[in-house]
A and B are shown apart, each in its own frame.
Chain A
Amino acid sequence: MTDAQQFEAFMRNYQNMVFSTSLRLVANQAEAEDICQEVFLKAYERFGELRESPTVGGWLKTVATNLSLNHLSRYRSRWSFFSELLGGTEGEARELEFPSGQDIEEDLARADRQELVERALQKLPAAQRVPLVLYHLEGLRYEDIAAKLNISLGKVKTDIFRGREALRKRLVSQLGEEVGAAQEQ
């Protein structure tokens, strides 16, 4: 297998993880694609070390997270005032693809629910979505999130609390049931 083929196989293995990480943070398909490209170009420069590394997944996730946060701080701040002034509609509903399973009905119900959760998450304002994703999906501690976003610990906690509350309200209104009810049954 040539180097190019090996790198293609490497991208195939990790592209969904990198894309999910970026999209959930920036909530914009085109921007997430740009970030993925940048992540894999960085990975290509260090492919010699990375292909043997057991922590390559973690490295890619960290780079994707950092580039997404850089992107948000660089490009979003200048627009956020205007976009939120008249009621932001950040992250409109988009078509998402989910893997298919054997039990089609059950899979469809689960996929529908996951799609609703995904859409509700994407519709949260960045100030709530980003710390929520970093806490629940990236597993960062409050202190680490505060350091990464350069905000106070209190603000991180408040934003995460507000994000959870906003997500719960959206899910209750869309699913017509209390959040987590399906899993509790």
Chain B
Amino acid sequence: MNYEQEQKLEAQIARELKALPELAAPPTLIARVLAAIELRAALPWFRRSWQTWPAALQASSLLVLLAVFGGLCFAGWEVSQIGSAVAAQKLGGIFSAASAIWNALNALAGAMVLVVHKLGTGFLIGCGVAIAFAYAMFVLLGAAYFRLAFARR
């Protein structure tokens, strides 16, 4: 399709689409929205969004949040002032636990390598093919289920 034909098609499609009238909304829409508004209004203030809270509650909740934030900042600063010896002792404990986990993982990885060598590559390829086959079956069955369950009647 050349440029001129493309321009002509664009103009034709634009004409067809712009000629479309507005679609009529379902007659139940207004009642549905009004019901949703009533439902929201019936909710207690603490279950509504913060923007719709009474002004006094908005102000006091803001103050409480600011106080909590200030308290956390102060606590953080106090903690940073604790002696370095205490901190080093605690960190040492954490690192010793981490090194034990690292050793266990290393032993596990060594055992896995040994198992792979013993089983041979043929067995591993077979496992890979079986997994791929199972995955393909899952996708196909999922697609078939979707088509059946959500088919428009």
Contacts and interface: CB of A to CB of B under 8 A. Distances in A.
A62 interface: no
Give chain B's interface secondary structure class. Answer: helix
Contact of A117 (B16, B26, B33): B16
Interface string B123-148: 00000000000000000001110110
Contacts of B11: 180
B64 interface: no
Given A15-B29, A118-B23, A136 B6 contact: no
Given A83-B146, A183-B15, A99 B21 contact: yes
Contacts of A180: 11-13, 15-16
B45 to A, nearest CB: 15
A136 B13 contact: yes
A169 B121 CA distance: 54
Report, as a range, how many residues of chain A touch the other chain: 35 or more
A136 B9 CA distance: 12
Contacts of B10: 164
A167 interface: yes
Given A82-B146, A168-B9, A180-B12, A98 B29 contact: no
B25 to A, nearest CB: 4
B127 to A, nearest CB: 26
Interface in B38-87: 40, 51-52
B95 interface: no
Given A132-B13, A179-B13, 16 more contacts: A8-B30, A11-B29, A11-B33, A15-B30, A23-B23, A36-B25, A36-B33, A41-B36, A83-B150, A86-B143, A86-B144, A114-B19, A117-B17, A164-B9, A168-B12, A180-B11
13 contacts: A8-B34, A15-B25, A29-B26, A37-B29, A82-B142, A83-B147, A86-B144, A92-B152, A96-B23, A98-B21, A161-B6, A165-B9, A180-B11
Interface of B: 1, 6, 9-26, 29-30, 32-34, 36-37, 40, 51-52, 142-144, 146-147, 150, 152
